[in-house]
Amino acid sequence: MSSLTPTARVILGMLKLGVTTGYDIKKVIDFSTRFFWTASYGQIYPELKRLRKAGLVRAEQVPRGKVKRTVYSLTPKGERALHDWLTDNQEVLFEIRDESLLRLFFSDQLSRDEVIANLRMQEQIFGLVLERFRELEVGVKEGVAEGRVYPYVALQYGLEFMTFARDWYAEKARRLEAGEELVELEDDEAARGEARLGPAG
């Protein structure tokens, strides 16, 4: 398996895309991968130094005027490490931390109106993110002609996912507002016993 630290992965990838300084890497992350992969200065700068010590990147001082500025690039070893990671299919990391889902999970504690409010809020949040993605789309699509196809493909995933999530919450909210149940019990017995069964205790 790849021995690169999480932050090293974005860094090497960004260097390969021609992003050269720690500052720029952070900037590019913040309008591209940020929705599924972030990094802060507090990680990027130390990691660049570690990568340099490990021989995966080389550093060059290229000051702009009197502002010191370190330009990084991949060494052959770094290129190899990047490629190895990109093609390594042992255990791929996938993590979601979604507080709204956790709240949904516990929503039997809430009144119908409270649940509706939460669902509508989620609909709105995902809608806003979707809008942000749409704004990105133009710029990212321009990159396609220059060979940066996959950032656009990844963005498509984001657009579709956000659309799915927004619509899912909207639909559940709509049903609750219409007085429908979110879950229909198939079995008649349980269906007759409907309504106000409190949780276990």
* Chain positions contacting DNA, by CB under 7 A: 5-7, 21-24, 27, 38-43, 45-46, 48-49, 64-70
Nearest to 33 by CA among 56, 8, 14: 14
**Nearest distance from C-beta of residue 27 to DNA, angstroms:** 6
Identify what 188 binds: DNA, a second copy, none; CB under 5 to 8 Å per kind: none
DSSP at 90: S
Q: How far apart are CA 55 and CA 46, in angstroms?
A: 14
Q: Which residue lies nearer to a second copy by CB, 66 or 101? A: 101
**Nearest distance from C-beta of residue 1 to DNA, angstroms:** 12
Q: Which residue lies nearer to DNA by CB, 64 or 196? A: 64
**Nearest distance from C-beta of residue 129 to a second copy, angstroms:** 8
Rounded to 5°, angle at Cα 158 from 154 and 164: 145
Long-range contact set of residues 111-115: C-beta below 8 Å, sequence gap at least 24? 112/176, 115/176
Q: Which residue lies nearer to a second copy by CB, 7 or 65? A: 7
